[in-house]
Chains A and B, each alone.
With several copies, the nearest count.
Chain A
Amino acid sequence: MTTLTLAKALNAGLRRALADDEKVVLMGEDIGTLGGVFRVTDGLKAEFGAKRVVDTPLSEAGIVGTAVGLAYRGFRPVVEIQFDGFIYPGFDQIVAQVAKLHYRSRGNVRMPITIRVPFGGGIGAAEHHSESPEAYFAHTAGLRVVACSNPADAYVMVRQAIASDDPVLFFEPKRRYHVKGEVDETASLADARPMGVATTVATGTHVTLVTYGALVQTARDAAVAAAEDGISIEVIDLRSLAPVDYATIEASVRRTGHLVVTHEAGQQGGVGAELAASITERCFEFLEAAPVRVTGHDIPYPPAKLERHHLPDLDRILDGVDRVLGRPNSLSGVEA
C-alpha cells in the first residue's frame, strides 16, 4: 500500500497503462511538458516520450477526432479534456463518432478510447471550470460513463477504462485531486472490482444515499452526522453512471425503503432523474416515500462566491434525508 493523492493515483494508473501496452497513447492540451494543469500526467512525457504523451493543438474536436483515427489504427487513446466545460466543442465527435462507430461498423471497429474529464465545482474557479456534464453522456448509447471518488479507485478504474474495448467517459472529481488515500499498486486488474459495480461505502438501514465523484465524501460525512440523530444512512458510491449497477442499489432500497440521490449537476434530466425513475420502477412496493434528489440548481454554474449556494453540501443532503423520512425539513408543509 502506498499513500497517494487522487491525482497521483491517476498518474500512477496512467503510467502503468502506458508501460503495460504500447498502444496506449495520452493526448491533450498541456499534458506533456507541463504535466497537465492538474499535474495528473506529470513526468509521463519525460518517461514515455512525445509520441506516447502528446501535447496537441488547442482543439477538443481535433483531439477526440484524431483519437478516433488512432483507434481505427489499433491504438488505445486516452484523451484529457482540460476542464469539464471544454468538452462541448468535442461533443459531436464523442456522440456521433466515438459512441456510434462500433455499432455503425457492425462490430468491426472498436473504439477503446478513454476520455478523462476533471469535473465538478467547489474550487472557486471561473466560468466553465466547474461543470458536471455527465448526464449528457449517460444519455448517449454506446458510451460507458464512470466517475471515481478516491485514490484507490482512481488507480484501478483508469486502467480498467483504458483496458475496456468500449469508449469510456472517465470523470475525475477535481476538488478531491489533492486528497490522499491508500493505493495498492501491486493488485492485479483481474482481481479488482469491475468498474461497472457500485460500492457500498457505509452501511445503514433507514435511507439509501446514492452519489458519485466528489460528493461521495460529503455523503459519508452526512451519514456520520445523521448517525448522531439516530438516522442510519447507507451510502453507495455509484462509480458507473452508465450502465448503473442497479442490483446494489435495489438490494439496499428494498431494505431501507428510502432513496436519496445527490449530485452537483442540475436536477432536470440529471443522473438522479434516471436513478429515481428506475428505482421506482424496480422497487415501487418497497418505497415508503418518493425518491428525493438533492442536486445543483438548474442554473448555469454561478460565480465562485455563490457556488456554495449551488452545490449540495452536508446540510442540504441531510435536509433531503429528512424529507424522504418525513421528518421536519425545508419543504415541510409545502404542497409537493
Chain B
Amino acid sequence: MTPSDRDATGLLTQSESTRADDFVQLVSPTGERRANAEFDPWITDVDPAALGRLYRDMAIVRRIDTEATALQRQGELGLWPPLAGQEAAQIGSGRALRDDDFIFSSYREHALAWCRGVEPAELLSVWRGSAASGWNPFEHGMAVPQIIIGAQALHATGYAMGAAWEGTDTAAIAYFGDGATSEGDVNEALVFAASFDAPVVFFCQNNQWAISEPVGLQSKQHLARRADGFGMPGVRVDGNDVLAVLAATRIALDRARRGAGPTFVEAVTYRMGPHTTADDPKRYRTDDELVEWGGRDPLARVLALLDASGVDIEGLQRDVTAEADRAAAELRAAVTTIADPAPLTVFDNVYAEPNSHLERQREHYTRYLAMFDTSSAEGSDAAASAPAEGDAR
C-alpha cells in the first residue's frame, strides 16, 4: 500500500523555497542598487534628497530608541521595547502611508509614531506607567499600542471594511511580528480581509524572534506564503532595505485603494536589542547572529548608496546627528514634563456614559483618600500625598 517512499506530488503541492534571502532587495547591504522591474517603478520619486530624508528618519528614530532605553535603565521609564534594527521596516512602510490611512500597531512601532508626529511625552507616558495611552488616535491616525499579540490585525481589518463601505479610498495597516502569525486573531483577520476585499495591509515585521522563540518555531514556511492560502498576494522583502519596504508598501496600498483587497507584506529584519528592557537575549541567542545581522544594517546601506550617488554623506551625517541629538534631548526633557496621574483618575474613562456602580466606588474611594489628607485628591500632585503601602494609620 506504500508504492514509493517519496512524497506524492501532483496536487499535493508544497512550495519549497525557504531560503532566508529569498526576498526582494533593492539595495544590498553594501549599498549597491539592485534593479527590479516590478518594484523600481514605485520609487522613481525617491531621488537622493528623498533618500536622505529616509536616512534622517531612520537615524532619528534609532537615536530616540537608544535614549528611551537609557531612560529606562535610569529608572525614568518602567519598560521599553526597543526597535533597533527595524528602522527600515518601520520607516519604509510608514513613509508610504497617506495621512488619512490608519495605523494599528503593536508595541514596538515607535518609528510609526514618529512618522505620525506623536510628541515625545505622548510617546513615553505609557512606558513610564503614567497613562493608559499617550496620544489621541484620531489626531495621529494611529491606534493606541496593542499588547495582546495579534488582536490589532482584526481591528485594522474592521477599520478598512468601514472605510471602504463609506466609499473612501483610505487604507488601514496592521503591524505585527513573526510570533503573532501563530495567533488565531491574525489568521481570522486574513479571512475577513479577503472575504470583504478590505483595503488593509498586513505588515509583518519578521524580526526572527518572538521573545526567546526563533521564527522557525512558529513556521517552517516563509510567512509571506501564508497570504496565498487566504486568497491575497503576499510579498517577502528585505526589511532592512528601506526602498524595498517603501515600494512593497506602496504596491500594497495601491491595491487597497483600487478596491483590489488586502496584501500581506513580510519584512525580513532583525531585532538587534532585547525583546524589552526586561529581557536578557544572551540566554537564547548567540553573538554570531548579532554580528551577522549587524552587517545588514539598514542605515549603513543607505549611506553607502548616497555616497555612491555623490551625496556629501559626512555633511548629512553631521546634520542628522545634530538633529537626532536634539530629538533625544527633547525626549529626555519630555519625561520630566509627564505629570504623575491624580489618584482619582483611576476611575476616569472606564465608561463613556454615567455608571451608577462606578460612581459609587469613586465616591467611596474619595472618602477613603480624604482620611489621609485634607488637601484635595483631585489635584495632579495629590498622588504624592496619598497613602504609602504600610503607612501606620
Chain A residues packing against B (C-beta within 8 Å):
25, 29-30, 32-35, 37, 51, 55-59, 61-62, 64-75, 77, 85-86, 88-89, 92-93, 96-97, 101-110, 112, 124-129, 141-142, 144, 164-166, 196, 221, 225, 229, 242-246, 267-268, 297-300, 302-306, 308-310, 313-316, 318-319, 330-331, 334
Q: Is there contact, CB below 8 Å, between B343 and A309? A: yes
Q: B154's contact among A33, A62, A221, A242, by CB below 8 Å, is which?
A: A62
- Chain A residues contacting B189 (CB-CB under 8 Å) are 62, 65-66
Cβ A102 vs Cβ B349 within 8 A = yes
Contact indicator A73/B137 (Cβ below 8 Å): no
A65–B185 touching, CB < 8 Å: yes
Closest A-chain residue to B392, C-beta based?
A225
Give Cα distance in the complex from A295 to B187, angstroms.
38
Q: Which residues of A contact B349 (CB under 8 A)?
A: 102-103, 105-107
B85 at interface (Cβ–Cβ under 8 A)?
Answer: no
Chain A residues lying within 8 Å of B184, measured Cβ to Cβ, are 59, 61-62, 89
Tell me the bound Cα distance from A267 to B364 in angstroms.
13
Residues of B contacting A267 in the complex (Cβ-Cβ under 8 angstroms): 361
For this complex, 9 residue pairs linking A to B, each with C-beta atoms less than 8 Å apart, are A32-B212, A68-B158, A72-B158, A73-B158, A85-B147, A106-B133, A165-B353, A313-B387, A315-B389
Give the residues in chain B near A297, CB-CB below 8 Å. Answer: 346-347, 358, 361, 365
Contact assessment for A305 and B148 in the assembled complex, using a CB-CB cutoff below 8 Å: no
With both chains docked as a complex, state the minimum distance between the C-beta of A97 and any C-beta of chain B, in angstroms: 6
Task: Tell yes or no: B304 within 8 A of A by CB.
Answer: no
B162 in contact with A319 (CB, 8 Å): no
Do A69 and B78 have beta carbons less than 8 Å apart?
no
Counted as pairs of residues, one from A and one from B, with CB atoms less than 8 Å apart, the total is: 285
- Which one, A34, A106, A313, contacts B390 given CB within 8 A? A313
B278 cross-chain contacts in A, Cβ below 8 A:
37
Q: B156 touching A306 by the CB < 8 A rule?
A: no
Residue of A nearest to B358 (CB): A298
| A58 touches which of B183, B340, B353 (Cβ 8 Å) | B183
Shortest A170–chain B CB gap in Å is 15
Q: Please name 10 further chain A to chain B contacts, defined as beta carbons within 8 Å, in addition to the given A89-B148, A110-B352, sorted by A numbering.
A: A61-B185, A166-B351, A166-B352, A225-B393, A245-B356, A297-B365, A303-B126, A309-B344, A334-B364, A334-B367
CB-CB < 8 A to B151: which residues of A? Answer: 65, 92-93, 96-97
A125 to B126, alpha carbons, bound, how many Å?
Answer: 11
Determine which residue in A58, A88, A164, A298 has the highest number of CB atoms from chain B within 10 A of its CB, and name it: A58
Which residues of the partner chain A approach B147 to less than 8 Å between Cβ atoms? 85, 126-129
Q: Given the complex of chains A and B, what is the CA–CA distance between A334 and B387 in angstroms?
A: 22
Identify the closest chain B residue to A128 (Cβ). Answer: B147
Given A69-B161, A102-B350, A196-B356, A57 and B155 contact (CB-CB distance below 8 Å) = no
Tell me if B117 is interfacial: C-beta within 8 Å of chain A.
no
CB-defined contacts of A313 to chain B, threshold 8 Å = 387, 389-390
Complex CA gap A58/B275 in Å reads: 15
A304 with B356: CB separation less than 8 A:
no
Nearest neighbor of B389 in chain A, beta-carbon distance? A313
A62 adjacent to B283 (CB under 8 Å): no
Q: Do A298 and B357 touch across chains, with their CB atoms under 8 A apart?
A: yes
Q: How far is the CB of B285 from chain A (nearest CB, A)?
A: 9
Contact present for A69 and B160 (CB under 8 Å): yes
Given known A-B contacts A106-B132, A109-B137, A126-B147, A243 and B213 have beta carbons under 8 A apart: no
B264 within 8 A of A: no
B155–A68 CB distance below 8 A = yes
A306–B352 contact, CB under 8 A? no
Known contacts A58-B179, A69-B162, A104-B133; decide if A305 and B357 are in contact (CB<8 Å): no
Q: Which residues of chain B in 148-172 are interfacial with respect to chain A, using CB atoms and an 8 Å cutoff?
A: 148-149, 151, 153-163, 165-166, 172
**What residues of A have a CB within 8 angstroms of the CB of B157 in the complex?**
65-66, 69
Q: Among A93, A246, A330, which residue has its beta carbon within 8 angstroms of that of B367?
A: A330
Q: How far is the CA of A286 from the CA of B278 in the complex (A)?
A: 50
Known: A69-B156, A298-B357, A310-B346. A103 touches B217 (CB 8 A): no
Q: Which residues of A contact B133 (CB under 8 A)?
A: 104-106, 108
Asked if residues B154 and A61 are in contact (CB atoms below 8 Å), the reply is yes
Whether A331 and B367, one on each chain, are in contact in the complex, defined by CB atoms closer than 8 angstroms, is yes
Closest to A127 in B: B147
**Complex Cα spacing A112 to B127, Å:** 28
- Chain A neighbourhood of B166, CB < 8 A: 73
> In the complex, what's the smallest C-beta–C-beta distance from B334 to chain A, in angstroms?
16
What's the Cα separation between A185 and B304 when bound, in Å?
62
State the Cβ distance, B62 to closest chain A Cβ, in Å: 23
Which of B195, B341, B343, B389 counts the most A-chain CB atoms under 10 A from its CB?
A: B389
Query: Contact at B188–A97, with CB atoms within 8 Å?
Result: no
Query: Is B180 an interface residue when CB atoms closer than 8 A count as contact?
Result: yes
Neighbouring A residues of B340 by C-beta, 8 Å: 305
CB of B132 within 8 A of CB of A127, answer yes
Q: Known A57-B182, A57-B192, A57-B218; judge A66-B211 contact (CB<8 A).
A: no
* B195 adjacent to A315 (CB under 8 Å): no
Of listed A62, A71, A108, A128, residue having the most chain B CB within 10 A: A62
* Cβ–Cβ contact A164 & B192, under 8 A: no
Tell me how far the C-beta of B180 lies from the nearest C-beta in chain A, rounded to whole angstroms.
7
Near A by CB (< 8 A), chain B positions 115-159 give 126-133, 136-138, 143-144, 147-149, 151, 153-159
Q: Tell me which of B155, B185, B191, B357 contacts A89 (CB under 8 A).
A: B185
- B211 x A104 contact (CB < 8 A): no
CB of A104 to closest CB in B, whole Å: 5
| Contact between chains at B155 and A105 (CB < 8 Å) | no
Q: Which residue of A lies closest to B131 (CB)?
A: A303
Instruction: Give the residues in chain A near B16, CB-CB below 8 Å.
Output: none
Do the beta carbons of B162 and A75 come within 8 Å of each other? yes
Give Cα distance in the complex from A89 to B154, angstroms: 14
Check B389–A299 contact: CB distance below 8 A.
no
Q: Assess whether A58 is in contact with B389, with CB atoms less than 8 Å apart.
A: no
Chain B, 206-235, contact with A by CB distance < 8 Å: what is the 0/1 string? 000011110001100000000000000000
